[in-house]
Amino acid sequence: MKELYFQFRSNFWLHLFTLNLRNLLGVGFVIGGLRKVNGHPFANIGQGGPFFNFLDALHENLIYYEFIGWAQFIAGALLITQRYATVGAMIYFPIILNIMVFTVFSIGSLTPYIASLMCLGTLYLLLWDYNKWMNIFKKDNDLYLMSTELAFPTYDKKWLINGWITLILPFISTILLFLFGYSGEHTKMSKYFFVASLGLVIISNIVVNLLSLKEKLKG
């Protein structure tokens, strides 16, 4: 089992997939979380049905609604940093699991499928970091110490910088979008900045992936 895990963790392509998955899931929760923190409803109010009635009631309880938003934002932000992605995945998983179960049994659109994929993705991230949390279930005097000679592919300076870009630009643009509302000239500029910031994030991630591939080919 350990050898299989070591092979799994040592695979460069899975490593690259993991770094990008953290960013993708993280951005989703950062933007969604900020929406709740700013008090904006998740969906249009008053649509009816179990799913939308629950969301309306949740939005009415503004303190709890904002609490969920902060939890989502923190989980997403920690994932994007790469450095604290394990903690982020641990916070992320119970939130997305709850969302998945609720949507599967209350709405018939694409939402349950998206939530299910996000849930599976987070489960994969937890499996990826198994070596960090496996001792939780061990006895006090029966801890497993991983050899320091193992050199798994991991994030480096360029991925950390990319993480800050991926976090800060959507954060600023989302805040501006909510501050100026959804109508008027200011909002148009905010929307343009929001789209532009997401474009820069995509470009930044493409560049850092290409640099990682270049290093792999040189090695």
- Tell me: the pLDDT tens digits for 71-111? 999 999 999 999 999 999 999 999 999 999 988 888 767 88
pTM: 0.87
pLDDT tens figures, 36-57: 888 877 766 656 677 777 778 8
Q: What pLDDT is recorded for position 119?
A: 97
Q: What is the mean pLDDT of residues 56-67?
A: 86
Ordered by start, the domain boundaries in the chain are 2-144+153-218
Q: Is pLDDT of 116 > 90?
A: yes
pLDDT value of residue 146: 65
Residue 179's pLDDT is: 72
Range of lowest pLDDT (141-145, 146-150, 198-202, 206-210): 146-150
Distance CA 83, CA 143 (A): 23
CA 89 to chain CA centroid, Å, is 8
pLDDT tens sequence across 138-160: 777 777 766 655 667 788 999 99
Cα–Cα distances (Å) from 206 to 81, 158, 162, in that order, read 17, 12, 10
Q: Is the pLDDT score of 6 beyond 90?
A: no
